[in-house]
Amino acid sequence: MLYDILFTLDRSGCFCKVAWGNREAEELYRELFESWARSRRMVTTAFALPEGADNGRFLWEENTFYFQYLSAPEGGLWLLLKREDNRPYLLARALDQVTDGVQIYDKTACAVYFNRASRSISHIPSGVSVEGRHLLDLYNLDENVSTTMTALQTQAPVIDRVDSFRANDFSTAPIASANTSYPIFREGELLGAVVFEQTAEIVDKGIKKLEATRQALSSFQNKSPKISFSGYTFANVIGGCPKLREAIELAQRVAPQDSPILLVGETGTGKEIFAQSIHRASRRRSGKFLAINCAAIPETLIESLLFGTRRGSFTGSEDKTGYLEEASGGTLFLDELNSMSLAMQSKILRVLQEKAFRRVGDSKDLKLDVRIISSCNEDPFKAISENTFRRDLFYRLSTVMIELPPLREHLEDLEELIHYHLEATAYQFVRAVTRIDPEVCVLLRSYHWPGNVRELFHVLDYAQNVTDSGSIEVCHLPPYLLKRRGSPSAAPAIDFTQRDLQSLMDDYEREIIVQALDYCGYNISQTAKTLGILRQSLQYRIRKYGLIF
């Protein structure tokens, strides 16, 4: 096979030397791999290659490689590595989304690629390959009136030529279409041509879609918000269940005071909406509202972000205002405070006690004039017992503690939340959703919503993106919801037809991570903690398995 990297191994499987198949691979790996050769490192400790296999695929440093062993003339082995390139596949799948037929030919008029629409126009079965076949072998047409042949021969575009043709092997009926072909050059040399096909059916669908888009764009000004979003208020808290109304009433009562407030609720229950609403109902409403996600900011940065920095305090530091200083006279929201390290929690406690703080590297005290609203995405007493939340800091910040119910505890608000979100986002879509299939509501009510209201809104956004009408049906819901239909906790069956144990273990690990993310409401820090692994390890596995949420 063509290779990016070629290793020469001795009889014991140690690296001896390395050769490069291209400049990119050499620039990426030369220093590391040559050090392996100098240290006589063994291939088994460098790569987790399948035992006993002469060739195959493996994952290393988040990249997939193909490998192959060959006998080397010196008596050892050659190990050839080729990094998997997903770009051609991505481009092909992207062209499959184009409604026009798209055909690509090389300069000899041999087929390189037909997209899904083109294969449908010519009635080419999905399992039949057209790659390498000549245009005149594929179609019964006159070479002199062929859009593609003309573009290749004249090396100039042919625009909107209407013709009738017949696919030799796949259709007996003539096909009428309007074709446009463009020759493709590289540094002045003709490489081939691309052809765009439009039948009457494609044109009719396109006209309808364009008309719907035109109407949506013309009414956009009437449907879109008249003013820019300036923050949440209690009017944005949707729902009427007793627990939620109690939380709102308590928040409204304490908002005018300066007391610290601790919001307790799972991820996606609306803690930031409450925090902003309290700020806008307080005497500090004219000051800034700043929020910092304690789970998302690296430990090495959070101190400088909060306290600010003084030029020269460390390499590259500048005089920079921190959140505590910038929010002076306003409100600072410490989101997911329980994810902050105990050392950093200790510094926050000292600031609250002293009512003063210093920039990193400075000796000047600055007065604290900030109202602190914090949040915890788990039971704070459980976090205290597990030593992830300082007890003294908890009592400092929980003068008022407001608990927000998870969505599964107020499903009576589900339909109100659905209609609220669909109305709020209708202006973003060409076809506004006006109807929801009753079966969809039944399915949504049976789901346990680990991601709460945020997850519900993501589900609705997904459905609005994939529906081709003004209605949401069951088929428009995300696949993971349909898999758990009728059994929220059921795990998909593992495919035991894979060729080796590692593939099965990868499948099993992927499913565990999917379910753990689901259980933790897709909170990375909480999921890593639940699985007992580092956050970085979880992020590596999310990328490894291509998980998207």
Give the pLDDT confidence score for residue 495 in this predicted structure: 44
Maximum distance among all alpha carbons in the chain?
89
Q: Where are the alpha helices (DSSP H) in 173-314?
A: 200-218, 220-223, 242-254, 271-280, 299-307
Q: Is the pLDDT of residue 488 over 60?
A: no
Domain membership of residue 32 as a residue range? 5-85
State mean pLDDT over 235-250: 92
Higher pLDDT, 521 or 180: 180
335 is a domain residue: yes
Give the pLDDT confidence score for residue 486 in this predicted structure: 46
State mean pLDDT over 158-174: 76
216 is a domain residue: no
Residue with tokens 């540094």: 187
Higher pLDDT, 473 or 174: 473
227 is a domain residue: no
Q: Is the pLDDT of residue 81 over 80?
A: yes
State mean pLDDT over 486-495: 44
Boundary-marking domain end, from 41, 56, 85:
85
In the structure encoding, which two tokens stand for residue 58, read together? 């493996």
Element (H, E) at 298: none
- Residue 498's alpha-carbon distances to 1, 47, 504, in angstroms, are 24, 21, 6
224 is a domain residue: no
Q: Could you report the per-residue pLDDT of 94-113, keeping only the tens digit for each?
A: 998 899 999 999 999 999 99
> 514: domain CATH number?
1.10.10
Cα dihedral: 50, 56, 60, 64 (round 10): -150
Nearest to 473 by CA among 503, 443, 502: 443
Tell me the residue ranges of DSSP E strands in 473-541.
Answer: none
> 43: domain CATH number?
3.30.450
Give the pLDDT confidence score for residue 75 in this predicted structure: 76
Q: Is the pLDDT of residue 497 over 80?
A: no
Q: Does pTM surpass 0.85?
A: no
Higher pLDDT, 346 or 521: 346
User: Residue 419 corresponds to which amino acid?
Assistant: H
418 is a domain residue: yes
Q: Count Cβ atoms within 10 A of the Cβ of residue 469 and give its class: 0-12 exposed, 13-18 middle, 19 or more buried.
A: exposed
* Residue 316 pLDDT class (50, 70, 90 cuts): low
Co-location of 244 and 384 in the same domain: yes
Q: Is the pLDDT of residue 69 over 60?
A: yes
Higher pLDDT, 219 or 69: 69
Co-location of 20 and 58 in the same domain: yes
535 is a domain residue: yes
Residues 6+ apart with CB under 8 A from 137: 168
> 474: domain CATH number?
1.10.8.60
SS3 390: coil
State mean pLDDT over 172-195: 88
State mean pLDDT over 135-157: 86
DSSP labels, 399-459? SEEEEPPPGGG-GGGHHHHHHHHHHHHGGGSSS---EE-HHHHHHHHHS--TTHHHHHHHH
Give the pLDDT confidence score for residue 494 in this predicted structure: 45
CA of residue 367 relative to chain centroid, distance: 41
- Residue 483's alpha-carbon distances to 274, 441, 479, 506, in angstroms, are 33, 16, 6, 20
User: Residue 45 corresponds to which amino acid?
Assistant: T
Boundary-marking domain end, from 30, 65, 85:
85
Average pLDDT, the chain: 85
Residue with tokens 């994939």: 466
Find out whether 349 and 390 touch, Cβ atoms under 8 Å: yes
Question: Cα separation of 120 and 187, whole Å?
Answer: 34
Boundary-marking domain end, from 355, 379, 403:
403
Q: Could you report the per-residue pLDDT of 15-63, keeping only the tens digit for each?
A: 888 898 888 888 878 888 888 888 888 887 788 787 778 888 888 777 7
In the structure encoding, which two tokens stand for residue 538, read together? 């979880």
> 130: domain CATH number?
3.30.450.20
> 220-229, 363-372, 451-460, 508-517 — which is least confidently predicted?
220-229
Q: Where are the alpha helices (DSSP H) in 258-312?
A: 271-280, 299-307
- Helix axes 438-446 and 414-425, enclosed angle (nearest 10): 120
Give the pLDDT confidence score for residue 315 in this predicted structure: 63
Tell me the β-bridge partners of 55: 68
Co-location of 170 and 239 in the same domain: no
Q: Is the pLDDT of residue 79 over 90?
A: no
Co-location of 255 and 353 in the same domain: yes
Co-location of 161 and 295 in the same domain: no
Residues 6+ apart with CB under 8 A from 195: 101, 102, 103, 104, 105, 147, 148, 151, 179, 180, 181
Residue with tokens 């625009």: 159
SS3 20: strand
Give the pLDDT confidence score for residue 491 in this predicted structure: 44
Co-location of 247 and 390 in the same domain: yes
Percent of the chain with pLDDT over 90: 35
Co-location of 456 and 338 in the same domain: no
The per-residue b/e assignment along 179-215, b for 16 or more CB within 10 angstroms, e otherwise, is bbbebbeeeeeeebbbbbbbbeebeeeeeeeeeeeee
Residues 6+ apart with CB under 8 A from 299: 341, 344
Q: How many domains does the chain have?
A: 5
Q: Is the pLDDT of residue 498 over 60?
A: no
Co-location of 27 and 71 in the same domain: yes
Co-location of 118 and 264 in the same domain: no
> 65-69, 75-79, 183-187, 498-502 — which is least confidently predicted?
498-502
Element (H, E) at 59: strand 55-60
Question: Cα separation of 320 and 318, whole Å?
Answer: 6
Q: Is the pLDDT of residue 134 over 80?
A: yes
Residue with tokens 């014991």: 12
What 3 state SS string does 114-163 have? ECHHHHHHCCCCCCCCCCCCEHHHHEECCCCCCHHHHHHHHCCCEEEEEE
> 373: domain CATH number?
3.40.50.300
Give the pLDDT confidence score for residue 485 in this predicted structure: 58
Q: Is the pLDDT of residue 487 over 60?
A: no
State mean pLDDT over 504-526: 79
Co-location of 260 and 131 in the same domain: no
* Residue 220 pLDDT class (50, 70, 90 cuts): low
Give the pLDDT confidence score for residue 328 in this predicted structure: 93
Q: Could you report the per-residue pLDDT of 384-441, keeping only the tens digit for each?
A: 998 999 999 999 999 999 999 999 999 999 999 999 998 888 777 767 787 898 889 8
Phi, psi of 35 (to 5 degrees): -70, -35
Nearest to 530 by CA among 300, 408, 380, 522: 522
Co-location of 96 and 16 in the same domain: no
Co-location of 238 and 380 in the same domain: yes
428 is a domain residue: yes
